[in-house]
Amino acid sequence: MNVLVFDIETVPDIAGGKIIYDLQGLDDESTSKALFHLQKQKTGSDFLPLHLQKIVAISVVYRGMGDDMGHEVSVRSLGDENSTEAELLTLFFKEIEQRTPTIVSWNGTGFDLPVVHYRTLKNKVSAPGYWEKGDNNSAFRHDNYLSRYHERHTDLKDVLASYNHKAAASLQDISMLLGFPGKMGMDGSQVWDEYQNGNLSGIRNYCETDVLNTYLIYLRYQLMRGELDNEELETEFALLRDVLDQSGKSHLEEFSKSWAVS
């Protein structure tokens, strides 16, 4: 297994919104309220379009596994609290360039990756390995990161619903259904307020717990597919618990405790 599970957190792109809607002269809070209002008038929802979602956190679980099932497992947010959006994106694509992993998401096709594409375009970030479709590497011709039905990007929400949006479930519901902790600390609707309050640390921690839920579901998915047996699954769970318990990070330790008693 060579897997990079990822999740992003976003806030309104204030600078972009000012340009598109000619909102110059407003402060950030007033601009955000105007953007939410305009979007609700247009669509009935204040959820901003994907090109106006600015990435403030990217969290990952990486699992590299050899025959002995004893290789790296790590849980982290890329960069630090001072990293720019361009730096976060550069680090994300560096992970892909260096490892060529299967990337795993929950709703990555519907949200995370389109946002990543728009923001990569805006920030002038180069990512040739990610965009490879077989022209330079034949291994990507029939399995690349961009095609919906390929496994090199596995969107669990998409796959488990058989690519039928009417059958789709939320990450929270499936996490809870399988006995995993689910969301901890906050939810996506609170990210903008927390960002305005300067709580980027809390946002990054929340993103890490979301990506942990996704990874745990992925392991159960691998059991379902026959890629892991029950003994191997328990080995993976124990390895991850050990990483969380020894992390020295309260939110990861709390995730482990919540999972252990579920």
Q: Would the pLDDT of 240 be above 80?
A: yes
How many Å separate Cα 125 from the centre of its chain? 18
Report the mean per-residue pLDDT for the chain.
93
What does the pLDDT look like over 155-166, one tens digit per residue? 999 999 999 999
Cα–Cα distance, 214 to 108 (Å, whole number): 11
Dihedral sign from CA coordinates of 55, 78, 243, 158 = positive
Tokens of 70: 């004893």
Q: Would the pLDDT of 229 be above 50?
A: yes
Dihedral angle of Cα 202, 187, 165, 119, to the nearest 10 degrees? -40
What's the CA angle centered on 10, arms 161 and 127, to 5 degrees? 80
Domains annotated for the chain, with CATH where assigned, are 2-9+50-260 (3.30.420.10)
**Residue 62, φ and ψ in degrees, nearest 5:** -110, 135
Q: Where is 79: in which H helix or E strand?
A: none
Which pTM does this prediction carry? 0.94
**Residue 55, φ and ψ in degrees, nearest 5:** -80, 125
Q: Maximum distance among all alpha carbons in the chain?
A: 61
**For position 48, what pLDDT does the model report?**
95
What does the pLDDT look like over 110-150, one tens digit per residue? 999 999 999 999 999 999 999 999 899 998 989 999 998 99
- Mean of pLDDT values over 22-44: 93
**For position 24, what pLDDT does the model report?**
87
pLDDT over 70 percentage in the chain: 97
